[in-house]
Amino acid sequence: MLFSIVMPVYNADTYLNEAIESILRQSLDFKKNVEIILIDNNSDDNSLEICNYYLRKYPNNIKVRKIEEPNVSVARNVGIKECSKSSSFIGFIDSDDKISKNTLREVYNFFERNIKVNIAVLPIYYFDARKGSHSLNYRFEDKIHTVNILEKYNFVHYHIGGVFARKSILDNKKNIFNPNLSFWEDALLINQILIQEKEYGLVHKGKYFYRKRKNNNSLVDITWYKKDRYTNLLQEGYLKLIKVSINEFGYVIDYVQYLIIYHMKLYFFKKYNNIIYQVLNNSERLEFFQKLHDVLEYIDEKIILEQNFKMYIKEYLITLKRQGIEFDKLINFGEITDEKVIIVKWKFTKGYYEIFAILSNEYYSTNKNDHIFIISKNKKLRIIYERDLKDLKIWDRVVRKRNNSLVKAKIPIYALKFSFVLSTNGENFYINEVNLLNKLLDKVLGKLIFFKK
């Protein structure tokens, strides 16, 4: 047997067939080369019946186990123990995801060519409610096939789906999923192994398809409403991995720092940021913020500044790192001239272009005495009105005031090229230039392409 595929299952009857069938239909012969270990997490839908159906159909290739307490870490650990001794590789696929038809053959070919590499990953693509490429797929844009984490510290990995390892690595009893974590248990184990191994492989031609559900009831979405997603994750996940790095190298390597801060960004997504007030009481929130500060003490500021975050998120993290949870105001790194005014709506009416534009406020907080105006050929154009926008917050902290950040203006037809200017404290700062002719051409070309289709 070449491959053992470990698949934990919990209330996945809507998607389970598709996940299993993607393995059955591999270009690599299933009956000769593959076994699937299905571990039911005490589902209360038809998942177990589906598992048993495939067991009856492929008794030599399917194993079904059931655990009484829903715990994905325990399920995966059981799955690893059930892998056949003759297997060469263990792979992980979630019960609502799937893989491309050539995946197992490509993984096998990779390990045959790279005999010293013990763990490899696939590029990830979203499907169902969301389409497109995962943000970490930039690693596959280069022609490299192996990643040295000490050199390519920004080539981080934390998703268990689509990870394949030589069985010998997972036979090590130290390499198990932490049952005390309900989230990030996969990232912790993967990166404990990568710290040991120092490198991993990129299987360019295989594909892992990650389902984004329409009803937002995946395990990832649900965990935001559990207390363990907060302080416990920082302590048992981030800080534990930091300790592993210190034990191995004597310090926290850049790879681990980058991984943690990259993953930490999820806390600042708008749809997740305020859930904390539904889940944690006041003392629990204070404990979480203090633990977040403890984690940040191990992260170099340059690693924070390298992230593709909004500047106010970087400023929040660095201020929290430097000053602790009782800080008064953000340490500013951005410049007013880095700001951008974005036209969100425009239309032609009675010889004028009527535009609505907003200041991004990524780098600068506007106050009541700040104003945006428009200049074309050294002439001020008419601003119809200014409006305040809702302040930007991170948890209960206002990180950007947005006074007068929305403007409505009339642009004469002859003034298609103009500049936005921000006036503050008696000084004028040119923000960005706009050419409405280019926008008009883009709009026309877009319609032509649409009709051509």
> Taking the CA atoms of the chain, what radius of gyration do you get in angstroms?
26
pLDDT for 61? 98
pLDDT for 414? 85
- Nearest-angstrom CA–CA distance, 286 and 289: 5
Strands 34-40 and 3-9: parallel
In contact, 36 and 23? CB cutoff 8 Å: yes
Q: Which superfamily is assigned to 3-215 in CATH?
A: Spore Coat Polysaccharide Biosynthesis Protein SpsA; Chain A (3.90.550.10)
pLDDT for 350? 82
Residues of the chain with CATH 3.90.550.10: 3-215
pLDDT for 360? 95
Residues of the chain with CATH 2.60.40: 336-452
366 contact partners, CB below 8 Å, separation of at least 6: 359, 401, 402, 403, 404, 405, 422, 424
**pLDDT tens-place values along the chain, 453 residues long:** 799 999 999 999 999 999 999 999 999 999 999 999 999 999 999 999 999 999 999 999 999 999 998 899 999 999 999 999 999 999 999 999 999 999 999 999 999 999 999 999 999 999 998 899 999 999 999 889 999 999 999 999 999 999 999 999 998 877 799 998 878 999 999 999 999 999 999 999 999 999 988 775 555 667 899 999 999 999 999 999 999 999 999 999 999 999 999 999 999 998 899 999 999 999 999 999 999 999 999 999 999 999 999 999 999 999 999 999 999 899 999 899 999 999 999 888 888 889 999 999 999 999 999 999 999 988 998 889 899 999 999 999 999 999 999 999 998 888 888 999 999 999 999 999 988 777 666 665 554 444 444
Task: Give the position of tokens 């013990």.
Answer: 118
153 contact partners, CB below 8 Å, separation of at least 6: 253, 254, 255, 257, 258
The CATH number for 336-452, chosen from 3.40.720, 1.10.10, 2.40.50, 2.60.40, is 2.60.40
- Nearest-angstrom CA–CA distance, 281 and 284: 5
- Nearest-angstrom CA–CA distance, 107 and 162: 10
